[in-house]
Amino acid sequence: MSICPPWRLLLLLSSWRPLLGRAETDSVGQTAGELYQRWERYRRECQETLEAVDPPADLACNASFDMYVCWDYAAPNVTARASCPWYLPWHRHVAAGFVLRQCGSDGQWGPWRDHSQCENPEKNGAFQDQRLILERLQVMYTVGYSLSLATLLLALLILSFFRRLRCTRNYIHINLFTSFMLRAAAILTRDRLLPPPGPYPGDQGPVLWNPALAACRTAQIVTQYCVGANYTWLLVEGVYLHSLLVLVGGSEGGHFRCYLLLGWGAPALFVIPWVIVRYLYENTQCWERNDVKAIWWIIRTPILMTILINFLIFIRILGILVSKLRTRQMRCPDYRLRLARSTLTLVPLLGVHEVVFAPVTEEQARGALRFTKLGFEIFLSSFQGFLVSILYCFINKEVGTASAAARALWRPHREWPGTQGRF
């Protein structure tokens, strides 16, 4: 039986620290030390018990200690149960409870266990309140991503269908729409594969590798790539728009291959290192938790850089628009209206809203600030694709002109029955 590495056990103990406030001693250090000693005794007793038991002759899930509770052999297609481990500080409140785990038909344990009956009752109420908020946020962004996915698909078909809309600007829009669609599809798929959340990160030990866990981690990797690609294509939009306004005389299509390489290639430069480091140093569960923050910053840092660069481009473009509008000596109300319209149009295209909570890290976000940050970012990010498709396709004048021309060409004329238009 493998023994928990010291660093992993320290991580496990530190994750329980908020739950030990009402433990037997006042010193957090002593409480953690006592918890470790009790956990170690439990582990040794489990090992001795399992060594004394003969394995069954038939197919069965193996007996093991999964860093949380001791499991006996279990028959296939059975939900095994084990008593709540006695080393928990609140064990006297949950002594009658059980941990549940499914034994598959192939004699392999399922990847997730249900230890809800062993949760700290004093913390469970607060957790249920937080879980209710998170469930509502999940419903909100599920609606947002689903709506964005549908409208983006239609917008993508429209921009690809009309020949007169085929230019570098719309090619970049098409790739941006595709990145929004991939992001939405990846997040919705990942949510279906993730296990239900628990009240505390006590499930830190490695679990068995099986198809369910492999699919879940694969979905997590694909999601990180799609989210990264979405941010890089927002950056491409900003760089391209800035080049049109600043670089006079440049060719629109001259750098499109570079844009493609940046938009779809750059995310791999930080997602692949993250996968390698995550596998080597934090290979736990479905990779949905980021307890080792240094590993998470491998992905977070490039995304923050794209947000910052796009915000600077946004400020620069606003300055250019202000100067151009002023030179035309427009009337004050019309000038302000055009500037406001241009500003609001650029916000979803460049993802400027991300800069509001960008300085607030996950370590700093606690309590009401955490849920405010989550609600703000989740709402705007999930509906961002919907807004972009509306602004840059459905109410776009160029698209409206192309659509009107197509309807005119398709309208049946008896005097020209053979007319066919090209558009």
The residues near 270 (Cβ < 8 Å, ≥ 6 apart) are 228, 298, 299, 301, 302
Q: Which amino acid is at 199?
A: P
Separation CA 369–CA 392 (nearest Å): 33
Q: How far is CA 125 from the centre of its chain?
A: 26
Strands 70-71 and 78-83: unpaired
Tokens of 188: 């919705």
What class, spelled out in words, does domain 126-409 have in CATH? mainly alpha
Which pTM was predicted?
A: 0.70
pLDDT at 18: 40
Helices (H), 53-196: 121-161, 168-193
pLDDT at 100: 94
Give 103's strand partners.
78, 109
Separation CA 84–CA 92 (nearest Å): 10
Separation CA 325–CA 334 (nearest Å): 10
Separation CA 113–CA 59 (nearest Å): 21
Element (H, E) at 31: helix 28-52
- What pLDDT, in 10s, does the model give residues 208-260? 456 777 888 899 999 999 999 999 999 999 999 888 887 655 555 568 889 99
- What pLDDT, in 10s, does the model give residues 323-346? 877 776 555 555 566 667 777 788
pLDDT at 253: 58
Separation CA 16–CA 14 (nearest Å): 5
Q: Which CATH number fits domain 6-118: 3.40.640.10, 3.40.50.300, 3.90.1170.50, 4.10.1240.10?
A: 4.10.1240.10
The residues near 227 (Cβ < 8 Å, ≥ 6 apart) are 183, 186, 187, 303
Q: Which residues of the chain have pLDDT under 70?
A: 1-32, 122-128, 195-210, 247-254, 328-339, 362-365, 411-423
* Every domain of the chain and the residues it spans: 6-118, 126-409
The residue among 160, 180, 184 whose CA lies nearest residue 170 is 160
Cβ burial of 403 (10 Å; 0-12, 13-18, 19+) is middle
The residue among 22, 76, 13, 66 whose CA lies nearest residue 42 is 66
pLDDT at 113: 86
